Amino acid sequence: MTAPAVDFPIVWVEADDPELTWERDDMHMPFAVAPLSADYIQVLTDGMRYGRTKVGNPWHLHVRFWNGYVYMTARADRPVVDEDEAERAVAENQRALIPTAAAYWHERAMPELRAMRDWFASLDVAETDLAGLADLWVEGWDRATRAWEIHFLAIRAPYQVTDDLADLYEGLVTDAPPGEALRMIQGQAHELHVVDQGIDALAGIVASDPDLRQAFSEGTPSVDRLADMPAAATLLDELAAFLGDHGHLGGSFDDLGFATWSERPEMVLGDVKRRLATGGPTSEERRATLLAEADRLADDVRRRLADRPDDLAAFEELLVHARTVGPLTEIHNYWIDRLAHAGVRRMALQVGARLVAAGVMGDPEDVLYLSRSEVETVLRDPEDRQAMIAERRILHERQKSMSAPYRVGKVPDGPAGADRFDGARFEPEQDGRLRGTGASGGVYRGTARVVLGPADFGKVQRGDVIVAPSSNPSWLPLFTIAGGLLTNTGGVACHAAVVAREFGLPAVVGLGDATTRVRDGATVELDGTTGHVTIL
């Protein structure tokens, strides 16, 4: 066991915590989180337990929050005699879900998710007394909990079928790059392309009007400025419709501290401005290219199996399933991760505004520095918490500046375990090159832009290489103008990799610490096939 760093003190929660290996979730929550976000992450973890239990997985993730950072470990809740056999049983249980996965998503999951979206959207706290608002607070968290239960059941079949497709492909094409097999399911029509088309349409409205073009050439105009421009009436109507459909995007990570597009429409307007300045192929042109490549790869498999009719039939069946439900590996993030985040954050800020009026806090965002149970308590019995909140804000700022180790507790020798979602972590090579997982093919050289969140999006210009902790569908607009992507975390099936392939963006993921090793403005060359990155 390694001792915690002096500047990262750890108080163990349970007696056996030091004997377990705890890994920081730097993909979904790369920064220190405030108390309400910690409670939200616990809801996420509870959803994981639900999904794993449904497929008989004995290993459940347990979460700890040390200095505001999120650490997890997996341990079996029952004796496991043969670990390999237990893993095979889980895989078979997940395969059994594949034929019905699409029906489950469309007929059961989506109605519940739309009901959750509508509930949060219609929540009106102004006419509810504080005690009644406490009841709504509890209900909102219960609805988010249910969304995460759906999440971790709905993803079982999609990830299994993409794993099976990759295993089959890599068994046939022995020198296949890590992410190549999953290109066979790219380009399918779904929500990510609808979002891309929507931004294309907004940019088209601006491009067609000289007054709007002038306004955007001078900077990203605010909604208020556009409201004073007669020429912007159609743009604002279309922007409102776009946000009505997709405004729950914007949160960069599973941290309630990150705002949504609905809260800050200037994030979308900034994306429109970048698209205007860069040009490039349309959404449909990109998708056509992706579909052609997917078919080319599938045809190659068919040629290899031409004299093996049974194997060919099995491949065709697997490919149909993979193209039908495989995209849920990313669509679920749009409908669950981002939607639940947006709903809980919106509710929290509304409650925060009421608590400001009640003298409990000084700013609606102060609610993020109370726990879920503390918010319910002050709703039922209002009491000034401003001094405590001020102390927690100071602590949170100090925690954000800490250097959090990737592992704590019993740290084994060698690299962390890896799978297609969260790939292996490699040490830099002797020649100084960084090494990660090649997630989206192509060699590219360009200027690196370190992007830690929406505040940095404006730095990215056409052809730049995004260097980020991770990404999700909220980052989609950047992918249409960038030339390459590097992330600290992930494997070939992670969110960053899936979206990169959907936009034909060369990408290397799982680099560990690219955001600190690569200087903003440096020239880098990345190989999205081999996973090598050279800082020039």
> Domain boundary at 216, 249, 283, which?
283
> Domain boundary at 283, 317, 346, which?
283
Total domains, the chain: 2
Contact 285, 302 (CB under 8 A): no
Q: Which long-range contacts (CB under 8 A, 24 or more apart) does 378-382 make?
A: 379/130, 379/131, 379/133, 379/134, 379/137, 379/351, 379/355, 380/130, 380/131, 380/134, 382/130, 382/355, 382/358
Is this model's pTM higher than 0.95 or not? Answer: no
Contact 95, 160 (CB under 8 A): yes
399: in domain: no
314: in domain: no
Tell me the pairing of strands 523-527 and 443-450. antiparallel
- Environment class of residue 511 by beta-carbon count within 10 Å: exposed (0-12), middle (13-18) or buried (19+)? buried
498: in domain: yes
Identify the domain containing residue 227 by its residue range.
191-283
Could you tell me the two tokens for 163?
Answer: 């794993």
490: in domain: yes
> Domain boundary at 283, 307, 323, which?
283
Residue 458 sits in a domain of what CATH number?
3.50.30.10
483: in domain: yes
Q: Quick: pLDDT tens for 174-199.
A: 888 888 899 999 888 689 889 999 99
pLDDT, averaged in runs of 10, over the chain (536 residues): 67 95 94 98 96 95 96 92 94 97 97 97 91 97 98 96 93 87 87 91 95 94 96 97 96 94 96 82 84 94 95 95 93 95 97 97 98 98 97 97 94 71 79 89 95 92 94 87 93 88 90 93 95 94
* Composition of the chain by helix, strand, coil, percent to 5: 55, 10, 35
511: in domain: yes
Q: Quick: pLDDT tens for 435-476.
A: 999 999 899 999 999 999 999 999 999 999 999 999 888 888
Report the mean per-residue pLDDT for the chain. Answer: 93
Task: Provide the pLDDT for residue 533.
Answer: 96
The DSSP H or E segment spanning 533 is strand 532-535
Could you tell me the two tokens for 403?
Answer: 């250097």
102: in domain: no
Q: Crossing angle of helices 110-122/130-154, nearest 10°?
A: 160
Contact 276, 207 (CB under 8 A): yes
67: in domain: no
* Nearest alpha-carbon partner for 149 in 63, 43, 59: 43
3-state SS track over 445-512: EEEEEECCCHHHHHHCCCCCEEEECCCCHHHHHHHCCCCEEEECCCCCCCHHHHHHHHCCCCEEECCC
Task: Provide the pLDDT for residue 35.
Answer: 98
